[in-house]
Chain A
């Protein structure tokens, strides 16, 4: 490939696309711009799960890395995501912090590229790609700025639509099947979202292209049916939830999402719906009805509280993605605006007036970015740990042995602690503070003096920034305290030996119990 060939390849459209992708990277990087650690609670959670897969060299039979107990729902239902992260970390050798900081931007660039690929055959590729960059990231609805399954799932929606809209060979159904199979084991909400978006297109093809409808339906249904034995409890609970109204979480709702997405893109979306409906054709109707059906389902949940909560919370992301694609058509309509030819020829209007569509389009883009970029920069994000916490957790991982297995610390930092140190925690805040979180706060706030509490709960590490006045705890590093008893246990017995001894002890107890019973019977 010589230089003139490279120049030919880098045509105008692709240069524009590269700029849009750079914008996408920046938008997704905003939450991580001034903070080198994972930002969202879910990011820490996924880091802990992926780390566990690497440490155990398997994703089967894992324990909950936080409590050490049975695995939690996200661990099993989003295993595809954790497996991908584990493989990527293993192969690239990149540190976790870099992956969680830069990878959301890379994934979002791919998403924007996929949107471009979907829309360019309908003439509004870069417009749709540009408006996709505006999808916001907030702690409530998540978004492309976080390395979470919903952000990665977004990449597959335009790709699957592109395949379904443009190909009719059996191999294209294989690609669809692979996508759905992956989504089913990575983020089932995205798989369901994609199916919902594709339903109108399947129905539109029923009469004129029955084989294609069947092909898409099979590609979507086979992986879901194959996964049913593993997901039957989830499916049943989801089916039950559909008929039981569920209160909406205060941090996620449609009216709040609309301003954060932006009013101008919404107006462009409405224009896009109008344009696509005017254009007719299955692809155009597929896009419009796919977006509308998703919106209707979200609106039903928001208004009447019927539906699956998770589909609502994550569905907002897919809705914004679909809105961006359709808004791309709206922006194209503005770009193609032209004054009537007779008018321009008769009055000799200046060049500016002859290109009124392009100028309007530029003004709209400028205005949208002028509003959207500072708005995205000003979205507040929490930071779960700071540098001192991170250093301490790393130190614990490297220096504190397996005899010290469970820690108590500010429950808010619990997920980050486990993700970094691979040790269990007494409690951690998953969504809302629980009773055990309050106990932890009381213990730490009271100077960590309650040694019996530590003994009862098998806690051997205390991480606190508050004053610690417990002589049973040794401050081995800034804010890191180890329980003396665990130290003694660690010194004399390994965990295997302790387990063996406890088995022997329970045997002895049962033997003694049997002897006592036999003695009583003989009496």
Chain B
């Protein structure tokens, strides 16, 4: 009998172990794909059609994809009406349970058939044979290189963030570091404070400086903000109005060091300044 069901259930255990402690990792992506798109359908097909005869390998593969998609959605639908809901853990455990139960049924159904009629794939860990001819050996090397290359590309694509999304984020938040709680009314000479944020997503080290203007007149600046790619800077920045007036425009400008024009149009805050 094949050991496909054992291997499949072992892979699911690996997936659960990979997901639960650290939700974001490469194993999750690599195993998550077949876990959703192939395993449920494969075991169901094996349970419904345990005989070798009548259905070919490629046909099983195609039907496994289709059945997996259908089963996953229907399991999700059932899960909706339970107290567990559609959470990661409940989805993971319910799908793993489904695959395990159907695997057990498949095992029983296969056992009732004569050995030669049973469908099953036997995975063996054996040293690859080189073949007899030079042509065979060359083909073997090419095949191994192709598999390694494909795995390498998959790993690279997953591990390397996509370049090309180069941008800088610039924003300001209230004093408490969230939106809201902005200074709205100040007395002349009173210090107003906001939290200014910059996030560098430019795939290079960036040197920024921030300028604050009140009604177009420079009031404060912050220099020497050096950020590596992916780094975020959030800091309190103050401004002190010197002239009274309603709805005065406080502007926040972000520059790259050495550049005369700001990276963006200025951000704006209106504040009433009273005597």
Contacts and interface: CB of A to CB of B under 8 A. Distances in A.
A475 interface: yes
A480 B170 CA distance: 11
B269 to A, nearest CB: 5
A30 to B, nearest CB: 18
Contact of B179 (A155, A387, A476): A476
B58 A399 contact: no
Given A86-B86, A182-B70, A484-B184, A117 B128 contact: no
Contacts of B230: none
B178 A399 contact: yes
B232 to A, nearest CB: 11
Contact of B129 (A3, A155, A395, A474): A3
Interface in A137-190: 152, 155-156, 159, 162-163, 167, 171-172, 174-175, 178-179, 181-182, 185-186
B49 interface: yes
Interface string B32-61: 110111000000000011000011011101
B72 A87 contact: yes
Interface in B106-141: 123-124, 126, 128-131, 136, 139-140
Contacts of A378: none
B182 A159 contact: no
Given A395-B171, A477-B170, A482-B179, A4 B136 contact: yes
B275 interface: no
Given A80-B77, A403-B180, A478-B265, A57 B66 contact: no
A296 interface: no
Given A1-B124, A4-B129, A155-B66, A391 B167 contact: yes
A93 B23 contact: yes
B59 A7 contact: no
Contacts of B36: 87-88, 91-92
B181 interface: yes
A476 B143 contact: no
A81 B73 contact: yes
Interface residues on B, range: 35 or more
Contacts of A388: 167
Interface in A382-400: 387-388, 391, 395, 399-400
Given A171-B48, A477-B171, A401 B178 contact: yes
Interface stretch (B87-95, B202-210, B217-225, B236-244): B87-95
B63 A175 contact: yes
B267 A477 contact: yes
Interface residues of A, number: 75
A154 to B, nearest CB: 11
A53 interface: yes
A178 B128 contact: no
A152 B69 contact: yes
B165 interface: yes
Interface string B10-46: 0000000001000111001100110111000000000
A478 B198 CA distance: 12
A423 to B, nearest CB: 12
A36 interface: yes
Given A4-B136, A114-B66, A36 B184 contact: no
Q: Is the interface of A mostly helix, strand, loop or mixed?
A: helix
Contacts of B188: none
Nearest to A404: B179
Interface string A385-428: 00110010001000111011000000000000000000000000
B247 interface: yes
A179 B180 contact: no
Contacts, number: 204
B184 A93 contact: no
B32 A57 contact: no
A178 B71 contact: yes
A3 B48 contact: no
Given A92-B36, A401-B179, A3 B140 contact: yes
A91 B126 contact: no
Interface centre among B28, B70, B74, B182 (most CB of A within 10 A): B70
A487 interface: yes
Contacts of A36: 162, 165
A185 B173 contact: no
A59 interface: yes
Given A1-B124, A116-B58, A478-B170, A83 B48 contact: no
A487 B172 CA distance: 14
Nearest to B143: A3
A475 B178 contact: no
B81 interface: yes
Given A84-B72, A178-B74, A91 B91 contact: yes
A117 B29 contact: no
Given A117-B58, A471-B247, A93 B24 contact: yes
A113 interface: yes
B192 interface: no
B57 to A, nearest CB: 8
A79 interface: yes
Interface centre among A59, A83, A116 (most CB of B within 10 A): A83
B77 A79 contact: yes
A120 B173 CA distance: 62
A156 B76 contact: no
B87 A57 contact: yes
Given A88-B36, A114-B62, A60 B69 contact: no
Given A110-B65, A182-B73, 11 more contacts: A3-B130, A3-B131, A17-B58, A83-B76, A83-B86, A92-B32, A178-B71, A399-B178, A474-B269, A477-B171, A487-B174
22 contacts: A2-B129, A3-B131, A59-B77, A84-B76, A86-B76, A87-B73, A87-B91, A91-B92, A92-B29, A92-B32, A92-B36, A93-B23, A175-B67, A395-B169, A399-B171, A403-B180, A475-B268, A476-B171, A477-B169, A477-B172, A477-B267, A484-B184
Which 8 pairs of residues, A with B, have the shortest CB-CB distance?
A: A92-B32, A182-B70, A83-B76, A57-B85, A477-B171, A84-B73, A171-B48, A487-B180
Interface of A: 1-4, 6-7, 9, 14, 17, 36, 53-54, 57-60, 79-81, 83-84, 86-88, 90-94, 106, 110, 113-114, 116-117, 120, 152, 155-156, 159, 162-163, 167, 171-172, 174-175, 178-179, 181-182, 185-186, 387-388, 391, 395, 399-401, 403-404, 471, 474-478, 480, 482, 484, 487-488, 490-491
